């Protein structure tokens, strides 16, 4: 028996773990109390991290799909790495050579952000391809945040983080950190931090169409009609600006234009649109301006909706004009030991540099909205997508109208995946290349230290030796790069090839050491190896602006044209018609997007896939609790059991995402026995925010 430290990579909280290892298996998992950020926190998913490693369904060798014939069904066959990598390189380069760069589409899923090797090498591989058809989970998630950060602060990831440990008013729109453990706010141990906030006399106010786990522990919860938060946020801003409560910093421009532009967005107008009482909005505006440090925070619920950009912009502007940005107890920039943003290892972002071929949707940061992927596969013509490479993603379950994407994927000439499971998407692959599991590789978090509520640094060496004949994700990316480039008829320019090869040459761990050494924190990899629980670099620091702005002349323009134009669209927003209900999503503490349904530890107990519906809406349709109902949207239809609850507001229904593992009766893994349907068989790829983000929330549906 031995004890090893690890880091959980299953959500953004990045908890430090203590693993007990017996006979080469994880026999127990605890939170590490010595971790300066997570301080012993752990959730049920963290406890299940060993299950993923031990799961017999997890792929450990490359597999090839043998297509069905008249006499034999489709099957999968293990193949060796050399053959597998050649097949993938042949497939990808073949399509590019024959049909051009854009014929290859690439999709990057969420776990890439949680893997060091994917960040250092996977991204490099993707950049090798000149296709315009690059996609990721970003456009089903935080794209409005990134666009707003670029417009206001000059870099897509220059995002101030709520100073939850010192704030006295935490105003939350569309986030459920009690279940999600925080997002774009790395906040392990949210429950204890909230208790501390309340114990020092602070308050949390939650605005959400559902009385969530977070709303239940809030000091105040306000129901809001889905998709109408922009009205509430603008009315807060309206009150602050017209009642002389504003106190923005000297580096902020455009306050007068802002006042003019939002004159119609009064608290009364907001009440009509959203259902949130006007006097409540006024009161909260006063509280925000008066608080000794207040932080407005908006996440998925106000990002994945039709006015995601306006909402995320208004969240930032509220913090700015009330003087809460860059202040203790407000929102502040982190000071990570490896500052990928300050050092421009990640580009600042660009918007609408080109558009998608069919719908002419704008790119952001080199990616198109994933909502257009299906039409790019199905619409003939020059530039049509004929091959797909997915890296750690499952767009069939995670992107709008997944059922239609599912059908489109079977028409591709070639498909490959880098993934550890056969899932609803990777089952379309000709070859799947599975990297080592998280516990078999070194980890330093390049992403989530950038977004954490406290500055820390931590390096976690691999817990297990990998099996012989297993490859790390970064080795797969490096070798695939080499083999594809060799086969391309039109090769990248020599200079680019040399830069790419140099960048892919070193191991991620070597790169981390180098980045630490050349950074300003004074932390070295040697020190991190000596202190595997992590090093505390202290609380977030105020007074970093305007120095760290990356805008021209280090000033903030409060009213970017893109936002101003979208206010016009907001003014024409309509209410749902007749018997329509608005569908929203939900996350459960024991779910992890579309995967981890293989571990019984997380799926046992009461089923949680139901459609939640208000009793008055059930009554109005003559339906009863527990019945199987049909939910219909513009694009699709599902049948699912309904559960009556007053936790959703009347007119709203809720389904979790990441369910619906039974496809055409194909058994992919144990997860197929988990009941439930995919909410994304109902979400509509035509509903987009201006940023290009999918409006997964507030989808009009009928229930019968």
**Residues near ligand MGD, by CB under 6 A:** 11-12, 109-111, 115, 137, 140-141, 173-177, 179-181, 183, 207-210, 212, 224, 226-227, 229, 299-302, 305, 391-395, 398, 418-421, 423, 435, 438, 473, 584-587, 589, 591-595, 657-658, 679-680, 683, 696-698
CA nearest neighbour of 580 among 404, 686, 704: 704
Q: How far is the CB of 141 from Mo ion (least distance, A)?
A: 4
Of the pair 15, 703, the CB lying nearest ligand SF4 is at 15
Q: How many residues bind to ligand SF4 according to rule CB under 6 A?
A: 12
Of the pair 322, 398, the CB lying nearest ligand MGD is at 398
Alpha-carbon distances, residue 313 vs 149, 150, 307, 552 (angstroms): 8, 11, 10, 19
Mark residues 149-188: x for contact with ligand SF4 by CB under 6 A, - for none: --------------------------------x------x
* Candidate ranges 139-147, 149-157, 439-447, 514-522; the one touching Mo ion (CB under 5 A): 139-147
The SS3 of residue 161 is: strand
Residue 167 is encoded by which pair of tokens? Answer: 């704030």
Name the closest residue to ligand MGD (Cβ). Answer: 301
- Phi then psi for residue 362, to 5 deg, are -75, 145
Name the closest residue to ligand SF4 (Cβ). Answer: 46
12: contact with Mo ion by CB under 5 A? no
Q: Residue 181 contacts by C-beta under 8 Å, 6 or more apart in sequence? A: 11, 12, 13, 43, 187, 188, 190
Tell me which of Mo ion, ligand SF4, ligand MGD, none is bound by residue 266, counting a contact when its beta carbon lies within the kind-specific cut-off of 5 to 8 angstroms. none
Tell me which of Mo ion, ligand MGD, ligand SF4, none is bound by residue 603, counting a contact when its beta carbon lies within the kind-specific cut-off of 5 to 8 angstroms. none
Residue list 532-571, contact with ligand SF4 (CB under 6 A)? none
Of the pair 47, 611, the CB lying nearest ligand SF4 is at 47
Tell me which of ligand SF4, ligand MGD, Mo ion, none is bound by residue 479, counting a contact when its beta carbon lies within the kind-specific cut-off of 5 to 8 angstroms. none
Q: How many CA atoms lie within 13 A of 581 on its CB side?
A: 27
Q: How far is the CB of 279 from ligand MGD (least distance, A)?
A: 19
Q: How far apart are the first and last CA of the chain?
A: 56
Q: How far is the CB of 618 from ligand SF4 (least distance, A)?
A: 34
Residue list 44-73, contact with ligand SF4 (CB under 6 A)? 45-46
591: contact with Mo ion by CB under 5 A? no
Residues 118/473, Cβ–Cβ less than 8 Å: yes
Of the pair 351, 459, the CB lying nearest ligand SF4 is at 459
Q: How far is the CB of 592 from ligand SF4 (least distance, A)?
A: 7
Residues 395/107, Cβ–Cβ less than 8 Å: yes
Of 14, 133, 312, 394, the residue at the interface with ligand SF4 (CB under 6 A) is: 14
Residue 673 is encoded by which pair of tokens? Answer: 């026995």
* Candidate ranges 63-71, 136-144, 507-515, 598-606; the one touching Mo ion (CB under 5 A): 136-144
Of the pair 42, 696, the CB lying nearest ligand MGD is at 696
Q: Residue 685 contacts by C-beta under 8 Å, 6 or more apart in sequence? A: 371, 372, 374, 375, 399, 400, 401, 404, 635, 694
141: contact with Mo ion by CB under 5 A? yes
Residues 540, 541, 547, CA angle at the centre, nearest 5°? 130
Residue 622 is encoded by which pair of tokens? Answer: 């003559």
- Residues 679 and 583: their CA atoms lie apart, in Å, by 9
- Residues 147 and 442: their CA atoms lie apart, in Å, by 31
Burial 472-492 (b: 16+ CB within 10 A, else e): bbbbbbbbbbebbbebbeeeb
Residues 544/466, Cβ–Cβ less than 8 Å: no
Q: Tell me the pairing of strands 611-613 and 652-654.
A: antiparallel
* 302 cis-preceded (ω within 30 degrees of 0): no
The SS3 of residue 544 is: coil
Q: How far is the CB of 295 from Mo ion (least distance, A)?
A: 21
Of the pair 96, 671, the CB lying nearest ligand SF4 is at 671
* Candidate ranges 19-27, 134-142, 208-216, 520-528; the one touching Mo ion (CB under 5 A): 134-142
Q: How far is the CB of 587 from Mo ion (least distance, A)?
A: 9
8: contact with ligand SF4 by CB under 6 A? yes
- Residues 581 and 430: their CA atoms lie apart, in Å, by 40
Of the pair 478, 587, the CB lying nearest ligand SF4 is at 587
Residues 676/659, Cβ–Cβ less than 8 Å: yes
Of the pair 11, 582, the CB lying nearest ligand SF4 is at 11
Residue 76 is encoded by which pair of tokens? Answer: 């999968």
- Residues 376 and 238: their CA atoms lie apart, in Å, by 42
Where along the sequence are the contacts to Mo ion (CB under 5 A)?
141
Binding site residues, ligand SF4, CB under 6 A:
8, 10-11, 13-15, 42-43, 45-46, 181, 188
């Amino acid at each position: 028996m031995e004890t090893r430290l690890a880091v959980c990579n299953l959500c953004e909280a990045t908890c430090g773990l203590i693993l007990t290892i017996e006979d080469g298996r994880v026999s127990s998992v605890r939170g590490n109390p010595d971790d300066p950020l997570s301080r012993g926190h752990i959730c049920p998913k963290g406890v299940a991290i060993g299950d993923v490693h031990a799961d017999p369904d997890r792929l450990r060798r490359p597999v090839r799909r043998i297509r069905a014939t008249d006499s034999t069904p489709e099957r999968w066959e293990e193949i060796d790495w050399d053959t597998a990598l050649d097949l993938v390189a042949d497939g990808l380069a073949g399509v590019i050579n024959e049909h051009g760069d854009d014929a290859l589409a690439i999709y990057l899923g969420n776990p890439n952000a949680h893997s060091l090797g994917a960040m250092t090498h996977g991204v490099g591989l993707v950049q090798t391809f000149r296709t315009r058809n690059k996609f990721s989970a970003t456009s089903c998630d935080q794209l409005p945040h990134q666009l707003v950060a670029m417009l206001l602060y000059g870099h897509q990831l220059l995002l101030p983080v709520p100073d939850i440990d010192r704030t006295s008013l935490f105003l939350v729109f569309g986030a459920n950190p009690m279940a999600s453990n925080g997002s774009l706010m790395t906040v392990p141990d949210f429950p204890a931090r909230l208790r501390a906030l309340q114990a020092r006399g602070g308050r949390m106010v939650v605005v959400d169409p559902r009385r969530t786990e977070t709303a239940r522990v809030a000091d105040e919860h306000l129901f809001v009609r889905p998709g109408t938060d922009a009205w509430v946020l603008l009315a807060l801003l309206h009150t602050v600006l017209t009642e002389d409560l504003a106190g923005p910093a000297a580096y902020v421009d455009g306050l007068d234009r802002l006042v003019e532009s939002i004159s119609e967005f009064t608290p009364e107008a907001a009440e009509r649109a959203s259902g949130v009482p006007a006097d409540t909005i006024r009161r909260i505006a006063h509280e925000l301006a008066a608080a000794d440090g207040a932080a407005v925070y908006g996440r998925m619920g106000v990002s994945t909706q039709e006015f995601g950009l306006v909402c995320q912009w208004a969240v930032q502007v509220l913090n700015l004009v009330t003087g809460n940005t860059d202040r203790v107890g407000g929102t502040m920039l982190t000071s990570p030991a490896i500052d990928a943003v300050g050092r421009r290892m990640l580009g600042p972002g660009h918007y609408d540099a080109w558009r998608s071929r069919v719908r002419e949707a704008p790119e952001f940061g080199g990616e198109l909205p994933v909502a257009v992927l299906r039409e790019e596969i199905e619409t003939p013509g020059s530039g049509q997508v004929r091959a797909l490479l997915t890296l750690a993603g499952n767009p069939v379950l995670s992107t709008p109208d997944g059922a239609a994407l599912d059908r489109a994927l079977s028409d591709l000439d070639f498909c490959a995946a880098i993934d550890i499971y056969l899932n609803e998407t990777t089952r379309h692959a000709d070859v799947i290349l599975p990297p080592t599991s998280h516990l078999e590789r070194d980890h330093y978090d390049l992403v989530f230290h950038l977004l954490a509520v406290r500055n820390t640094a931590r390096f976690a060496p691999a817990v297990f030796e990998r099996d012989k004949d297993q490859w790390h994700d970064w080795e797969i990316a490096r070798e695939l790069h080499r083999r594809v480039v060799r086969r391309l008829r039109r090769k990248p320019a020599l200079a680019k090839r040399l830069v790419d090869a140099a960048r892919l040459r070193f191991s991620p761990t070597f790169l981390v050491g180098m980045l630490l050494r050349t950074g300003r924190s004074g932390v070295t990899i040697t020190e991190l190896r000596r202190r595997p629980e992590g090093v505390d670099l202290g609380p977030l620091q105020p007074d970093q602006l305007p120095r760290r702005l990356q805008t021209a002349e280090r000033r903030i323009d409060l009213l970017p044209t893109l936002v101003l134009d979208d206010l016009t669209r907001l003014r024409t927003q309509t209410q749902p018609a007749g018997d329509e209900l608005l569908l929203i999503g939900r996350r459960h503490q024991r779910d992890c997007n579309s995967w981890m349904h293989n571990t019984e530890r997380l799926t046992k107990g009461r089923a949680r896939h139901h459609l939640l519906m208000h009793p008055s809406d059930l009554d109005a349709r003559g339906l009863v609790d527990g019945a199987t109902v049909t939910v219909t949207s513009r694009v699709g239809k599902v049948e699912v059991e309904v559960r009556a609850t007053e936790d959703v507001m009347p007119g709203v229904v809720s389904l979790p995402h990441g369910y619906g593992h039974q496809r055409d009766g194909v058994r992919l893994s144990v997860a197929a026995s988990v009941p439930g349907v995919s909410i994304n068989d109902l979400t509509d790829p035509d509903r987009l925010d201006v940023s290009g983000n999918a409006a997964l929330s507030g989808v009009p549906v009928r229930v019968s």
